[in-house]
Structure 1
Amino acid sequence: MTGSSPETVPSVWLCREPASQNQTAPEWLTDFEQATVAGFSGLKRREYLCSRWLIRQALAGTSGIAGEICRPVDGRPVCSVHPPGWHLSLSHSHGLSACAVAARPGLGLDIEPLGRHPHWQKVVRRWFTPGEQAWLLAGNQCENFLKVWTLKEAWLKATGRGIAGNLQTLEVGPDFRLSGDRGGNDWIASVGQVNDFLVTLVYRHSGNSLPSGCLLQTPQESLRAERPAAVVTSLKWLFHNHITVLEQE
């Protein structure tokens, strides 16, 4: 999974978080990251440290440079400082961390465990479009709801918006045809599965190749970044569709 061309297909990297919640902050963290994690404890500390380790693994695996010298920008890690020019998107859920890497801006990643949301119908009735309500409620399958939910979350991340008032800016049909409120014919959404999690990526790309994706070996407590982690399994893509322009009423 290496490359640096502007047409490089995005990649998704995932790992389970270590069991311990009290890891020592590794030396390869930036000063900003050291200061940030000093204010965290428990699950939040574990999630933060694992995500920073995963960013290094993702950038190293994509660019081919050593992990311990990779680093994201300070603050929200939406792109890289070294190596420069890579865009990032993170997601966390129930002990799983994920990081997407792309050569172009407009990148959004969301993961969700299958079987979540026992009252998903209420979410559909409150926030989804009338068309989505019709087919999701008639089909009565929580997994379809989760696919639509992660598509919307990833779309909003990729377009730089929050959930409030924006969930209907992407409409998903019963055959998973996608329509969004942003122009351009290069918006793509890919939905996959690894173990018991859905993994959804929205990105911009002029080609039609599937992204690469893999689950890495759970990092050791020391969170060593200089060596690439072993790949446990590859991400299985369920579907891969272009996003067309949403027709306005």
Structure 2
Amino acid sequence: MAGSSNDCSPDTRPAIWLCHQTDGIETPPPVWLTEYEQETVGKFSGPREREYLTSRWLIRQAIGKSARCSPESCRPVDGRPNASRNPEGWRLSLSHSHGLSACATHAGSSVGLDLEPCQRHPQWQKVARRWFSPVEQEWLFREDDANTFLKVWTLKEAWLKATGRGIAGNLQSLEVRKNFEIYGDQPDEDWQASCCYIEGYLMTLVFRGSRPQWPDITLLEPPPGDFTLVDALSIEASWEPLFQRTIRPKS
């Protein structure tokens, strides 16, 4: 089964916007950066600088397309970009890895996104022994599959982003059991998770919603070399759905 990156969807559906990072010559920081972003990008150089600028360019594209306004008028809050400052009302989650950036948007509700290359974590057993629950270790070691581990890892990362927490001391706040039954430490029963493959990456989204549903997924053309905030066009791309689950509260 495959989905189109340009499928139509209701406004309440969470959305994911992606773009590839492009190489280029060093350029002055674009004038649309906020003062906070200018200070932050000044700490980077080379590929890390372009990665940061690509993600900030993509955030503005994502907000603009979700809110149906110009990307030039959009900006996230300072610090962790988990919400829009202008226009207000959008929750955000950013993920980037190995040349691909992604930004999730959701109107007024928490959202968390994680993106990982499909071939990552060759020594996954060490991570599972150190950070995962005994229940998770038991079935993961029996299956002995790195891709299965990666699905669990992205679920945990997306959960922590959606609930506003870091990794330290919190990886077991979400427990993933066999067949991807998922239990979280939040009392609410309206947490959802969706997982798919796209562009050689595993991508997992966690969001607040009354029912499981696939996000609207759009691959955008890469940013211009000087990161001008043009209204980026979409590029046709296919993605492979893996699973959807409701995250149940731990008993």
1:77 aligned partner, one-letter code:
P
Q: Deviations over 1:19-66 (max 9, x none)?
A: 126233222222332232223211221111000110011111111101
1:180 deviation in Å? 0.5
Q: State the match for 1:126 in structure 2.
A: 130
3-state SS in 2 of match to 1:132: helix
Q: State the match for 2:189 in structure 1.
A: 185
The runs of 5 or more residues in structure 1 that have no matched partner are none
The correspondence of residues 130-145 of structure 1 with structure 2, limited to 5 A, is: 130-145=134-149
3-state SS in 2 of match to 1:175: helix
Q: 2:153 aligns with which of 142, 149, 153?
A: 149
- Contact 1:61-1:228 at 8 Å conserved across structures: no
- The answer to whether structure 1 residue 240 and structure 2 residue 244 are counterparts is yes
Distance 1:110 1:143 in 2: 15
Q: 2:57 aligns with which of 40, 53, 60?
A: 53
Q: State the match for 1:89 in structure 2.
A: 93
- Contact 2:213-2:244 at 8 Å conserved across structures: no
Distance 2:25 2:17 in 1: 22
Q: Which has the higher contact order (CA 8 A, sep 6+)?
A: 2
Distance 2:211 2:126 in 1: 37
1:49 aligned partner, one-letter code:
L
- Contact 1:104-1:204 at 8 Å conserved across structures: no
Distance 1:234 1:176 in 2: 24
Q: State the match for 1:41 in structure 2.
A: 45
Q: State the match for 1:168 in structure 2.
A: 172
Superposed CA RMSD in Å reads: 1.9
* Superposition TM-score, scaled by structure 1 size: 0.92
3-state SS in 1 of match to 2:121: coil
3-state SS in 2 of match to 1:157: helix
Q: State the match for 2:3 in structure 1.
A: none
Distance 1:162 1:217 in 2: 31
- Contact 1:67-1:228 at 8 Å conserved across structures: no
Larger mean CA deviation between 7-16 and 31-40 belongs to 31-40
3-state SS in 2 of match to 1:39: coil
Q: How many aligned residue pairs are there?
A: 244
Q: Deviations over 1:136-179 (max 9, x none)?
A: 11111100000000000111111111112211111112211111
The runs of 5 or more residues in structure 2 that have no matched partner are 1-5
Distance 1:81 1:245, change over 3 A: same
Distance 2:197 2:235 in 1: 15
- Greater than 4 Å deviation, 4+ residue runs: none
1:94 deviation in Å? 1.1
- Contact 1:215-1:234 at 8 Å conserved across structures: no
Distance 2:225 2:188 in 1: 44
Q: 2:22 aligns with which of 18, 30, 34?
A: 18
Distance 2:128 2:39 in 1: 40
Larger mean CA deviation between 184-193 and 234-243 belongs to 234-243
- Contact 1:21-1:43 at 8 Å conserved across structures: no
Q: State the match for 1:99 in structure 2.
A: 103
1:83 deviation in Å? 1.4
Distance 1:100 1:54 in 2: 10
The correspondence of residues 68-83 of structure 1 with structure 2, limited to 5 A, is: 68-83=72-87
1:245 deviation in Å? 0.8
- Contact 1:98-1:111 at 8 Å conserved across structures: yes
